[in-house]
Chains A and B, each alone.
Chain A
Amino acid sequence: MVSSMLYRRTAPLVLGFLLGLLMVLEYYVPTDAFRIAATSMRTWAVVIATIAIGFGLTNVVRIHYADIKSRRKGTWPFSVWMLVIIAVILVLGLTAGTQHVIYRFFFDNMFMLPYNTVVTFLCFSTFSAGYRAVKARSLEGILLLIGTVFVMMWYAPIGEILWSGFPTIGKWIYDVPSTGSMRAIMIGAAIGSAVLGIKTLIGLERGWLGRREE
Protein backbone atom coordinates (compact mmCIF):
# COMPACT_ATOMS: atom_id res chain seq x y z
CA MET A 1 0.00 0.00 0.00
CA VAL A 2 2.76 2.42 1.03
CA SER A 3 4.95 1.54 -1.95
CA SER A 4 1.90 1.89 -4.22
CA MET A 5 1.23 5.41 -2.88
CA LEU A 6 4.93 6.20 -3.27
CA TYR A 7 5.11 5.48 -6.97
CA ARG A 8 1.55 6.53 -7.86
CA ARG A 9 1.46 9.84 -6.06
CA THR A 10 4.69 10.89 -4.35
CA ALA A 11 7.13 10.02 -7.12
CA PRO A 12 5.23 11.88 -9.89
CA LEU A 13 4.82 14.92 -7.60
CA VAL A 14 8.53 14.98 -6.73
CA LEU A 15 9.53 14.47 -10.38
CA GLY A 16 7.14 17.20 -11.50
CA PHE A 17 8.52 19.58 -8.89
CA LEU A 18 12.17 18.93 -9.80
CA LEU A 19 11.64 19.27 -13.56
CA GLY A 20 9.42 22.32 -13.13
CA LEU A 21 12.03 23.89 -10.88
CA LEU A 22 14.71 23.23 -13.49
CA MET A 23 12.67 25.05 -16.16
CA VAL A 24 12.10 28.02 -13.81
CA LEU A 25 15.75 28.13 -12.75
CA GLU A 26 16.88 28.14 -16.39
CA TYR A 27 15.14 31.50 -16.78
CA TYR A 28 16.37 33.10 -13.55
CA VAL A 29 19.86 31.52 -13.35
CA PRO A 30 21.15 31.71 -16.95
CA THR A 31 24.09 29.33 -16.66
CA ASP A 32 25.18 26.81 -19.29
CA ALA A 33 24.43 23.83 -17.06
CA PHE A 34 20.78 24.79 -16.56
CA ARG A 35 20.40 25.79 -20.21
CA ILE A 36 21.70 22.45 -21.49
CA ALA A 37 19.57 20.48 -19.03
CA ALA A 38 16.42 22.49 -19.85
CA THR A 39 17.01 22.18 -23.61
CA SER A 40 17.28 18.41 -23.20
CA MET A 41 14.04 18.32 -21.23
CA ARG A 42 12.24 20.28 -23.95
CA THR A 43 13.52 17.88 -26.61
CA TRP A 44 12.34 14.96 -24.46
CA ALA A 45 8.89 16.56 -24.30
CA VAL A 46 8.77 16.65 -28.12
CA VAL A 47 9.76 12.96 -28.27
CA ILE A 48 7.12 11.98 -25.68
CA ALA A 49 4.45 13.99 -27.54
CA THR A 50 5.34 12.20 -30.78
CA ILE A 51 4.96 8.85 -29.05
CA ALA A 52 1.64 10.07 -27.63
CA ILE A 53 0.28 10.51 -31.16
CA GLY A 54 0.88 6.83 -31.84
CA PHE A 55 -0.59 6.00 -28.45
CA GLY A 56 -3.65 8.08 -29.27
CA LEU A 57 -4.13 6.28 -32.57
CA THR A 58 -3.89 2.90 -30.82
CA ASN A 59 -6.48 4.02 -28.29
CA VAL A 60 -8.88 5.22 -30.99
CA VAL A 61 -8.61 1.88 -32.80
CA ARG A 62 -9.13 -0.03 -29.53
CA ILE A 63 -12.24 1.95 -28.56
CA HIS A 64 -13.88 1.75 -31.98
CA TYR A 65 -13.03 -1.94 -32.32
CA ALA A 66 -14.83 -2.51 -29.01
CA ASP A 67 -17.87 -0.59 -30.35
CA ILE A 68 -17.91 -2.75 -33.47
CA LYS A 69 -17.60 -5.97 -31.50
CA SER A 70 -20.46 -4.99 -29.20
CA ARG A 71 -22.48 -3.61 -32.16
CA ARG A 72 -23.01 -0.34 -30.30
CA LYS A 73 -26.39 0.97 -31.39
CA GLY A 74 -26.35 3.72 -34.00
CA THR A 75 -22.59 4.20 -34.17
CA TRP A 76 -20.92 0.89 -34.98
CA PRO A 77 -21.21 1.27 -38.81
CA PHE A 78 -19.40 4.62 -38.52
CA SER A 79 -16.72 2.95 -36.41
CA VAL A 80 -16.19 0.40 -39.22
CA TRP A 81 -15.91 3.20 -41.77
CA MET A 82 -13.49 5.08 -39.55
CA LEU A 83 -11.18 2.09 -39.07
CA VAL A 84 -11.23 1.39 -42.82
CA ILE A 85 -10.22 4.98 -43.58
CA ILE A 86 -7.51 4.92 -40.89
CA ALA A 87 -6.07 1.72 -42.37
CA VAL A 88 -6.17 3.02 -45.94
CA ILE A 89 -4.52 6.35 -45.10
CA LEU A 90 -1.91 4.70 -42.87
CA VAL A 91 -0.91 2.09 -45.46
CA LEU A 92 -0.96 4.65 -48.26
CA GLY A 93 1.10 7.18 -46.34
CA LEU A 94 3.69 4.63 -45.21
CA THR A 95 4.08 2.88 -48.58
CA ALA A 96 3.41 5.47 -51.30
CA GLY A 97 4.27 8.53 -49.21
CA THR A 98 2.25 11.66 -48.40
CA GLN A 99 3.18 13.23 -51.73
CA HIS A 100 1.55 10.45 -53.76
CA VAL A 101 -1.38 11.54 -55.94
CA ILE A 102 -3.80 9.10 -54.27
CA TYR A 103 -2.83 10.23 -50.78
CA ARG A 104 -3.25 13.87 -51.83
CA PHE A 105 -6.61 12.96 -53.38
CA PHE A 106 -7.76 11.54 -50.05
CA PHE A 107 -6.49 14.54 -48.14
CA ASP A 108 -7.88 17.19 -50.48
CA ASN A 109 -11.18 15.59 -51.39
CA MET A 110 -12.13 13.24 -48.56
CA PHE A 111 -10.83 15.26 -45.63
CA MET A 112 -10.61 18.92 -46.55
CA LEU A 113 -13.75 19.22 -48.68
CA PRO A 114 -16.16 17.69 -46.13
CA TYR A 115 -14.48 19.73 -43.37
CA ASN A 116 -14.87 22.93 -45.35
CA THR A 117 -18.49 22.02 -46.05
CA VAL A 118 -19.17 21.71 -42.32
CA VAL A 119 -17.54 25.10 -41.74
CA THR A 120 -19.78 26.57 -44.44
CA PHE A 121 -22.85 25.18 -42.66
CA LEU A 122 -21.62 27.01 -39.57
CA CYS A 123 -21.60 30.20 -41.62
CA PHE A 124 -25.31 29.80 -42.36
CA SER A 125 -26.24 29.06 -38.76
CA THR A 126 -24.09 31.96 -37.52
CA PHE A 127 -25.88 34.22 -40.01
CA SER A 128 -29.31 33.31 -38.67
CA ALA A 129 -28.02 33.51 -35.08
CA GLY A 130 -26.86 37.07 -35.82
CA TYR A 131 -30.34 38.00 -37.03
CA ARG A 132 -31.96 36.56 -33.89
CA ALA A 133 -29.46 37.66 -31.26
CA VAL A 134 -28.62 41.22 -32.27
CA LYS A 135 -31.70 42.99 -30.97
CA ALA A 136 -32.09 46.22 -28.96
CA ARG A 137 -33.64 44.48 -25.95
CA SER A 138 -31.60 46.36 -23.35
CA LEU A 139 -28.79 48.93 -23.08
CA GLU A 140 -26.22 46.16 -23.57
CA GLY A 141 -28.20 44.94 -26.59
CA ILE A 142 -28.19 48.42 -28.11
CA LEU A 143 -24.43 48.73 -27.60
CA LEU A 144 -23.93 45.27 -29.14
CA LEU A 145 -26.12 46.27 -32.09
CA ILE A 146 -24.19 49.49 -32.73
CA GLY A 147 -20.82 47.77 -32.33
CA THR A 148 -21.85 44.88 -34.60
CA VAL A 149 -23.05 47.20 -37.35
CA PHE A 150 -19.92 49.36 -37.35
CA VAL A 151 -17.45 46.47 -37.15
CA MET A 152 -19.27 44.54 -39.90
CA MET A 153 -19.30 47.62 -42.10
CA TRP A 154 -15.62 48.27 -41.43
CA TYR A 155 -14.60 44.73 -42.37
CA ALA A 156 -16.63 44.37 -45.57
CA PRO A 157 -15.66 46.55 -48.59
CA ILE A 158 -19.26 47.69 -48.98
CA GLY A 159 -19.02 49.63 -45.72
CA GLU A 160 -16.54 52.24 -46.95
CA ILE A 161 -18.56 52.63 -50.15
CA LEU A 162 -21.75 53.41 -48.21
CA TRP A 163 -20.14 55.85 -45.75
CA SER A 164 -16.52 56.79 -45.05
CA GLY A 165 -17.24 56.92 -41.32
CA PHE A 166 -17.91 53.19 -41.08
CA PRO A 167 -14.23 52.10 -41.39
CA THR A 168 -13.05 54.81 -38.99
CA ILE A 169 -15.53 54.07 -36.23
CA GLY A 170 -15.52 50.30 -36.79
CA LYS A 171 -11.72 50.14 -36.60
CA TRP A 172 -11.80 52.22 -33.41
CA ILE A 173 -14.29 49.82 -31.80
CA TYR A 174 -12.13 46.87 -32.89
CA ASP A 175 -8.85 48.44 -31.70
CA VAL A 176 -9.86 50.21 -28.49
CA PRO A 177 -12.80 48.80 -26.47
CA SER A 178 -12.48 45.29 -27.92
CA THR A 179 -8.71 45.06 -27.49
CA GLY A 180 -8.88 46.68 -24.06
CA SER A 181 -11.42 44.13 -22.86
CA MET A 182 -9.39 41.25 -24.30
CA ARG A 183 -6.28 42.60 -22.59
CA ALA A 184 -8.07 42.56 -19.23
CA ILE A 185 -9.24 38.97 -19.81
CA MET A 186 -5.74 37.92 -20.86
CA ILE A 187 -4.15 39.49 -17.77
CA GLY A 188 -6.66 37.65 -15.57
CA ALA A 189 -6.00 34.39 -17.41
CA ALA A 190 -2.24 34.90 -17.13
CA ILE A 191 -2.43 35.48 -13.36
CA GLY A 192 -4.63 32.38 -13.07
CA SER A 193 -2.14 30.36 -15.10
CA ALA A 194 0.76 31.55 -12.95
CA VAL A 195 -1.12 30.57 -9.77
CA LEU A 196 -2.04 27.20 -11.26
CA GLY A 197 1.58 26.65 -12.26
CA ILE A 198 2.84 27.39 -8.77
CA LYS A 199 0.19 25.14 -7.21
CA THR A 200 1.11 22.33 -9.62
CA LEU A 201 4.80 22.80 -8.90
CA ILE A 202 4.40 22.53 -5.11
CA GLY A 203 1.93 19.65 -5.37
CA LEU A 204 -1.26 21.41 -4.27
CA GLU A 205 -2.85 20.87 -7.68
CA ARG A 206 -3.04 17.14 -8.38
CA GLY A 207 -5.61 16.88 -11.16
CA TRP A 208 -2.86 15.99 -13.63
CA LEU A 209 -2.16 12.78 -11.72
CA GLY A 210 -5.45 11.52 -13.10
CA ARG A 211 -6.65 9.50 -10.13
CA ARG A 212 -8.62 9.99 -6.94
CA GLU A 213 -6.93 10.62 -3.60
CA GLU A 214 -6.82 7.57 -1.33
Chain B
Amino acid sequence: MSKKETLTILEKIDVRFIYGTLLLTLAFVTLVPIGLPFTIGEQSKKAYNLIEALPAGTVVGFVPDLDAMGWLQGGPPAIAYARHLFRRPLKIVIFVMLSTDAVGLTFSILDQVKPETLGKKYGEDWIFLGYAAGGEAAYAASADDLWRTFGGRDYYGKSLEDLPLAKSAKSAKDIPLLVVPESGGAAILFVRHWNARYQTQIICNEPPMIVPQYTAYERAGQISVVNSGLRDGAEYEKLIGQPGLSLAAMDGLSAATFLLLGYIVIGNIGFLKRKLSKEA
Protein backbone atom coordinates (compact mmCIF):
# COMPACT_ATOMS: atom_id res chain seq x y z
CA MET B 1 0.00 0.00 0.00
CA SER B 2 1.45 3.34 -1.01
CA LYS B 3 1.83 6.26 1.34
CA LYS B 4 -0.88 8.15 -0.53
CA GLU B 5 -3.34 5.27 -0.15
CA THR B 6 -2.56 5.04 3.58
CA LEU B 7 -3.24 8.74 4.04
CA THR B 8 -6.52 8.42 2.12
CA ILE B 9 -7.60 5.55 4.37
CA LEU B 10 -6.81 7.58 7.48
CA GLU B 11 -8.99 10.38 6.19
CA LYS B 12 -11.82 8.22 4.90
CA ILE B 13 -12.19 5.31 7.28
CA ASP B 14 -15.14 3.10 6.34
CA VAL B 15 -18.17 4.08 8.38
CA ARG B 16 -18.90 0.41 9.14
CA PHE B 17 -15.51 0.11 10.81
CA ILE B 18 -16.24 3.24 12.88
CA TYR B 19 -19.64 1.89 13.96
CA GLY B 20 -18.11 -1.50 14.73
CA THR B 21 -15.37 -0.10 16.96
CA LEU B 22 -17.85 2.17 18.75
CA LEU B 23 -20.22 -0.75 19.35
CA LEU B 24 -17.42 -2.99 20.66
CA THR B 25 -16.08 -0.23 22.92
CA LEU B 26 -19.48 0.51 24.42
CA ALA B 27 -20.25 -3.20 24.84
CA PHE B 28 -16.93 -3.72 26.62
CA VAL B 29 -17.38 -0.90 29.16
CA THR B 30 -20.97 -1.99 29.76
CA LEU B 31 -19.96 -5.57 30.51
CA VAL B 32 -16.75 -4.62 32.33
CA PRO B 33 -17.48 -1.39 34.21
CA ILE B 34 -14.38 0.63 34.96
CA GLY B 35 -15.86 3.25 37.27
CA LEU B 36 -13.63 6.19 36.35
CA PRO B 37 -13.60 8.79 39.13
CA PHE B 38 -14.73 12.35 38.52
CA THR B 39 -15.11 15.50 40.58
CA ILE B 40 -18.49 16.98 41.41
CA GLY B 41 -18.93 20.34 39.75
CA GLU B 42 -20.26 23.57 41.24
CA GLN B 43 -23.55 23.45 39.31
CA SER B 44 -24.59 20.10 40.76
CA LYS B 45 -23.59 21.24 44.27
CA LYS B 46 -25.63 24.44 43.82
CA ALA B 47 -28.76 22.49 42.87
CA TYR B 48 -28.26 20.02 45.72
CA ASN B 49 -27.67 22.75 48.31
CA LEU B 50 -30.69 24.73 47.12
CA ILE B 51 -32.97 21.75 47.69
CA GLU B 52 -31.27 20.82 50.98
CA ALA B 53 -31.79 24.36 52.30
CA LEU B 54 -35.56 24.32 51.75
CA PRO B 55 -37.49 24.41 55.04
CA ALA B 56 -39.66 21.39 55.84
CA GLY B 57 -43.12 21.67 54.35
CA THR B 58 -42.08 23.88 51.40
CA VAL B 59 -44.18 23.26 48.31
CA VAL B 60 -41.97 22.40 45.33
CA GLY B 61 -43.02 21.93 41.74
CA PHE B 62 -41.47 18.93 39.97
CA VAL B 63 -41.94 19.26 36.22
CA PRO B 64 -40.33 16.38 34.28
CA ASP B 65 -41.24 17.80 30.86
CA LEU B 66 -39.30 15.17 28.95
CA ASP B 67 -40.21 13.69 25.62
CA ALA B 68 -39.37 10.21 24.35
CA MET B 69 -36.34 11.50 22.46
CA GLY B 70 -34.90 13.26 25.51
CA TRP B 71 -35.52 10.42 27.96
CA LEU B 72 -32.10 8.78 27.57
CA GLN B 73 -30.34 12.06 28.39
CA GLY B 74 -32.80 13.60 30.83
CA GLY B 75 -34.52 10.62 32.45
CA PRO B 76 -31.74 9.47 34.83
CA PRO B 77 -31.12 13.03 36.16
CA ALA B 78 -34.90 13.41 36.61
CA ILE B 79 -34.96 10.24 38.72
CA ALA B 80 -32.05 11.57 40.81
CA TYR B 81 -33.85 14.89 41.45
CA ALA B 82 -37.07 13.07 42.31
CA ARG B 83 -35.26 10.80 44.78
CA HIS B 84 -33.78 13.83 46.52
CA LEU B 85 -37.07 15.71 46.63
CA PHE B 86 -39.01 12.75 47.98
CA ARG B 87 -36.34 12.05 50.60
CA ARG B 88 -36.72 15.53 52.05
CA PRO B 89 -39.74 16.67 54.12
CA LEU B 90 -41.17 18.69 51.22
CA LYS B 91 -44.56 18.87 49.55
CA ILE B 92 -44.26 17.99 45.89
CA VAL B 93 -46.63 19.01 43.10
CA ILE B 94 -45.93 17.16 39.86
CA PHE B 95 -47.27 18.44 36.56
CA VAL B 96 -46.26 18.64 32.90
CA MET B 97 -47.29 21.01 30.10
CA LEU B 98 -44.97 20.67 27.13
CA SER B 99 -44.88 17.05 26.06
CA THR B 100 -47.67 14.47 26.09
CA ASP B 101 -45.00 11.76 26.46
CA ALA B 102 -44.11 13.28 29.83
CA VAL B 103 -47.11 11.73 31.60
CA GLY B 104 -45.98 8.17 30.87
CA LEU B 105 -42.38 9.12 31.62
CA THR B 106 -43.47 10.59 34.97
CA PHE B 107 -44.83 7.17 35.89
CA SER B 108 -41.50 5.65 34.86
CA ILE B 109 -39.80 8.07 37.27
CA LEU B 110 -42.26 7.32 40.07
CA ASP B 111 -41.78 3.56 39.51
CA GLN B 112 -38.09 4.05 40.26
CA VAL B 113 -38.56 6.42 43.21
CA LYS B 114 -41.48 4.58 44.89
CA PRO B 115 -42.73 7.45 47.12
CA GLU B 116 -44.81 5.12 49.28
CA THR B 117 -41.62 3.34 50.47
CA LEU B 118 -40.27 6.72 51.62
CA GLY B 119 -43.32 7.30 53.78
CA LYS B 120 -44.89 9.79 51.38
CA LYS B 121 -48.66 9.85 51.20
CA TYR B 122 -50.49 10.82 48.03
CA GLY B 123 -52.65 13.87 48.52
CA GLU B 124 -50.75 15.06 51.59
CA ASP B 125 -47.08 14.89 50.58
CA TRP B 126 -47.35 14.78 46.81
CA ILE B 127 -49.87 15.08 44.01
CA PHE B 128 -49.78 14.54 40.27
CA LEU B 129 -51.85 16.96 38.21
CA GLY B 130 -51.12 15.39 34.81
CA TYR B 131 -50.75 17.22 31.51
CA ALA B 132 -52.28 20.54 30.44
CA ALA B 133 -52.33 21.38 26.74
CA GLY B 134 -51.74 24.85 25.35
CA GLY B 135 -47.98 25.28 25.25
CA GLU B 136 -47.02 28.76 26.41
CA ALA B 137 -50.66 29.61 27.17
CA ALA B 138 -50.74 26.76 29.69
CA TYR B 139 -47.56 28.00 31.36
CA ALA B 140 -49.01 31.50 31.59
CA ALA B 141 -52.36 30.24 32.87
CA SER B 142 -50.79 27.88 35.42
CA ALA B 143 -48.82 30.71 37.01
CA ASP B 144 -52.07 32.52 37.86
CA ASP B 145 -54.29 29.55 38.61
CA LEU B 146 -52.95 25.99 38.69
CA TRP B 147 -56.33 24.55 39.59
CA ARG B 148 -58.15 26.02 36.60
CA THR B 149 -55.34 25.07 34.20
CA PHE B 150 -55.67 21.42 35.19
CA GLY B 151 -59.47 21.47 35.31
CA GLY B 152 -59.73 21.36 39.10
CA ARG B 153 -58.75 17.68 39.20
CA ASP B 154 -55.59 15.67 39.55
CA TYR B 155 -54.48 13.10 36.97
CA TYR B 156 -56.54 10.37 38.62
CA GLY B 157 -59.71 12.44 38.42
CA LYS B 158 -59.90 13.40 42.11
CA SER B 159 -61.12 16.88 42.84
CA LEU B 160 -58.33 19.15 44.07
CA GLU B 161 -60.71 20.27 46.84
CA ASP B 162 -60.30 16.78 48.35
CA LEU B 163 -56.47 16.83 48.32
CA PRO B 164 -54.94 18.65 51.31
CA LEU B 165 -51.71 19.51 49.45
CA ALA B 166 -53.59 21.05 46.50
CA LYS B 167 -55.07 23.65 48.84
CA SER B 168 -51.54 24.97 49.49
CA ALA B 169 -50.61 24.97 45.79
CA LYS B 170 -53.06 27.11 43.88
CA SER B 171 -50.68 29.25 41.86
CA ALA B 172 -47.05 30.25 41.35
CA LYS B 173 -47.29 32.36 44.53
CA ASP B 174 -47.48 29.13 46.58
CA ILE B 175 -44.60 27.33 44.83
CA PRO B 176 -41.24 29.03 45.48
CA LEU B 177 -39.14 26.46 43.60
CA LEU B 178 -39.52 24.46 40.40
CA VAL B 179 -37.30 21.51 39.49
CA VAL B 180 -37.49 21.05 35.73
CA PRO B 181 -35.57 18.16 34.19
CA GLU B 182 -36.57 18.47 30.55
CA SER B 183 -35.73 18.01 26.89
CA GLY B 184 -35.68 21.74 26.13
CA GLY B 185 -38.14 24.64 26.10
CA ALA B 186 -40.03 24.37 29.38
CA ALA B 187 -37.61 26.23 31.63
CA ILE B 188 -37.65 29.30 29.37
CA LEU B 189 -41.46 29.35 29.50
CA PHE B 190 -41.30 29.15 33.29
CA VAL B 191 -38.83 32.07 33.25
CA ARG B 192 -41.31 34.17 31.24
CA HIS B 193 -44.41 33.43 33.27
CA TRP B 194 -43.41 32.12 36.69
CA ASN B 195 -40.07 33.79 37.43
CA ALA B 196 -40.75 37.12 35.69
CA ARG B 197 -44.05 37.65 37.52
CA TYR B 198 -43.70 35.68 40.77
CA GLN B 199 -39.90 35.32 41.16
CA THR B 200 -40.14 31.53 41.32
CA GLN B 201 -36.71 29.90 41.54
CA ILE B 202 -35.95 27.33 38.86
CA ILE B 203 -33.52 24.39 38.82
CA CYS B 204 -33.35 22.76 35.40
CA ASN B 205 -31.48 19.95 33.69
CA GLU B 206 -31.03 20.42 29.95
CA PRO B 207 -29.46 18.47 27.09
CA PRO B 208 -25.79 19.60 26.88
CA MET B 209 -26.06 21.17 23.41
CA ILE B 210 -28.61 23.78 24.56
CA VAL B 211 -27.15 24.54 28.00
CA PRO B 212 -25.31 27.71 26.78
CA GLN B 213 -28.72 29.18 25.91
CA TYR B 214 -29.97 28.58 29.45
CA THR B 215 -26.71 29.74 31.05
CA ALA B 216 -27.56 33.23 29.80
CA TYR B 217 -30.74 33.12 31.93
CA GLU B 218 -28.75 31.78 34.88
CA ARG B 219 -26.31 34.69 34.63
CA ALA B 220 -29.28 37.07 34.62
CA GLY B 221 -30.61 35.42 37.79
CA GLN B 222 -33.78 34.20 36.14
CA ILE B 223 -32.84 30.54 36.45
CA SER B 224 -31.15 29.54 39.71
CA VAL B 225 -29.20 26.52 38.45
CA VAL B 226 -28.71 24.98 35.02
CA ASN B 227 -27.47 21.40 35.03
CA SER B 228 -26.21 19.64 31.95
CA GLY B 229 -27.57 16.24 30.97
CA LEU B 230 -26.10 12.96 32.15
CA ARG B 231 -22.83 14.37 33.50
CA ASP B 232 -24.53 16.58 36.09
CA GLY B 233 -27.04 13.79 36.65
CA ALA B 234 -24.16 11.46 37.56
CA GLU B 235 -22.71 14.09 39.92
CA TYR B 236 -26.14 14.51 41.51
CA GLU B 237 -26.44 10.74 42.05
CA LYS B 238 -23.09 10.84 43.83
CA LEU B 239 -24.27 13.73 46.00
CA ILE B 240 -27.48 11.97 47.08
CA GLY B 241 -25.58 8.69 47.53
CA GLN B 242 -27.84 6.72 45.19
CA PRO B 243 -26.02 5.54 42.07
CA GLY B 244 -28.23 5.22 39.02
CA LEU B 245 -28.23 5.21 35.26
CA SER B 246 -26.37 8.51 34.93
CA LEU B 247 -23.37 7.12 36.81
CA ALA B 248 -23.60 3.89 34.84
CA ALA B 249 -23.41 5.89 31.60
CA MET B 250 -20.20 7.70 32.53
CA ASP B 251 -17.89 4.87 31.51
CA GLY B 252 -19.58 4.66 28.12
CA LEU B 253 -19.33 8.44 27.78
CA SER B 254 -15.61 8.38 28.57
CA ALA B 255 -14.93 5.46 26.23
CA ALA B 256 -16.89 6.95 23.33
CA THR B 257 -15.30 10.37 23.84
CA PHE B 258 -11.80 8.90 23.87
CA LEU B 259 -12.55 6.85 20.76
CA LEU B 260 -13.96 9.88 18.94
CA LEU B 261 -10.92 11.91 19.91
CA GLY B 262 -8.73 9.18 18.47
CA TYR B 263 -10.66 9.17 15.20
CA ILE B 264 -10.54 12.98 14.98
CA VAL B 265 -6.76 12.90 15.46
CA ILE B 266 -6.35 10.14 12.85
CA GLY B 267 -8.58 11.98 10.39
CA ASN B 268 -6.67 15.22 10.84
CA ILE B 269 -3.28 13.47 10.47
CA GLY B 270 -4.45 12.03 7.17
CA PHE B 271 -5.89 15.36 6.03
CA LEU B 272 -2.85 17.45 6.98
CA LYS B 273 -0.31 14.98 5.54
CA ARG B 274 -2.26 14.87 2.27
CA LYS B 275 -2.47 18.65 2.16
CA LEU B 276 1.22 19.08 2.90
CA SER B 277 2.27 16.47 0.34
CA LYS B 278 0.08 18.17 -2.30
CA GLU B 279 1.66 21.54 -1.53
CA ALA B 280 5.14 19.98 -1.67
Q: Please measure, in the bound complex, the distance between the C-alpha atom of A145 and the C-alpha atom of B23, giving whole angstroms.
A: 24
Smallest beta-carbon distance B217→chain A, Å: 9
Interface flags, A28-45, vs B, CB<8A=1, else 0: 000000010001001101
- Determine whether the beta carbon of A50 is less than 8 Å from that of B22: no
Residue A148, interface by CB 8 Å: yes
> Bound state CA distance, A119 and B268, in angstroms?
28
CB of A116 closer than 8 Å to a CB of B: yes
- On whether the beta carbons of A159 and B257 are closer than 8 Å, the reply is yes
* Distance to closest chain A CB from B27 (angstroms): 13
Chain B hits for A178, CB < 8 A? 212
A73 at the interface (CB under 8 A from B): no
Is B258 located at the chain interface by the 8 A CB criterion?
yes
Do A43 and B132 touch across chains, with their CB atoms under 8 A apart?
Answer: no
Contact of B36 among A48, A49, A161 (CB under 8 A): A161
Task: Say yes or no: is B198 at the interface (Cβ < 8 Å to chain A).
Answer: no
- Give every chain B residue within 8 A of A145 (Cβ-Cβ): 264, 268
- Which residues 149-202 in A have Cβ within 8 Å of B in the complex? 149, 152-153, 155-161, 167, 171, 174-175, 178-179, 181-183, 186
Say yes or no: B38 contacts A157, CB within 8 Å.
Answer: yes
B38 to A: closest C-beta gap in Å: 4
Beyond A53-B133, A161-B37, A179-B219, is A115–B69 a contact (Cβ under 8 Å)?
Answer: yes
Q: Given A50-B133, A111-B68, A128-B19 in contact, is the A155-B215 Cβ separation under 8 Å? A: no
Chain B nearest Cβ from A107, distance in angstroms: 5
Asked if B253 and A155 sit within 8 Å, CB to CB, the answer is yes
Interface string of B105-117 (1 = CB under 8 A from A): 1011000000000
Contact B213–A186 (Cβ < 8 Å)? yes
Closest to B220 in A: A183
Binds A, one of B54-62, B140-148, B158-166: B140-148
Query: Chain B contacts of A155 at CB under 8 A?
Result: 208, 228, 231, 253, 257
How many whole Å from B233's CB to the nearest CB in chain A? 12
Chain B interface mostly: helix
CA distance A152 to B132 in the complex (A): 37
Q: What is the CB-to-nearest-CB distance from A99 to chain B, in angstroms, rounded to a whole number? A: 7
Alpha-carbon distance between A149 and B254 when the two chains are bound, in angstroms: 13
CB contact list, B53-108 vs A, under 8 A = 68-69, 71-72, 100-101, 103-105, 107-108
Tell me if A's interface is mostly helix, strand, loop or mixed.
helix
Q: Name A162's closest neighbour in chain B (CB-CB).
A: B258
Contact A186–B216 (Cβ < 8 Å) = yes
Contacts of A98 in B (CB 8 A): 103-104, 107
Asked whether A128 lies within 8 Å of B254 as measured between CB atoms, the reply is no
Q: Which of A7-15, A60-68, A129-137, A204-212 contacts B (4 or more CB under 8 A)?
A: A129-137
Using known A-B contacts A128-B18, A174-B211, determine if residue A157 contacts B137 with beta carbons closer than 8 Å: no
Residues of A within 8 A of B257 (CB): 152-153, 155-156, 158-159
Neighbouring A residues of B69 by C-beta, 8 Å: 115, 119
Contacting residues, chain B, for A159 (C-beta < 8 A): 257
Residues A148 and B264 in contact in the complex (CB < 8 Å), given A99-B107, A119-B72: yes
Report Cα–Cα, A191/B250, bound state, in Å: 40
- A196 to B52 Cα, complex, angstroms: 43
- How far apart sit A50 and B131, CA to CA, in the bound complex (Å)? 10
B135 at the interface (CB under 8 A from A): yes
Q: How distant is the Cα of A149 from the Cα of B148 in the complex, in angstroms?
A: 49
Nearest CB in chain B: distance from A87 CB, A: 18
* Contacting residues, chain A, for B179 (C-beta < 8 A): none
Cβ of B9 under 8 Å from chain A:
no
9 smallest A-B Cβ distances: which pairs? Answer: A45-B137, A157-B38, A49-B134, A158-B254, A42-B141, A156-B257, A46-B134, A49-B133, A115-B68
Could you jot down 7 A-B contacts, CB within 8 Å? Answer: A35-B144, A42-B141, A124-B22, A152-B261, A161-B37, A167-B39, A182-B216
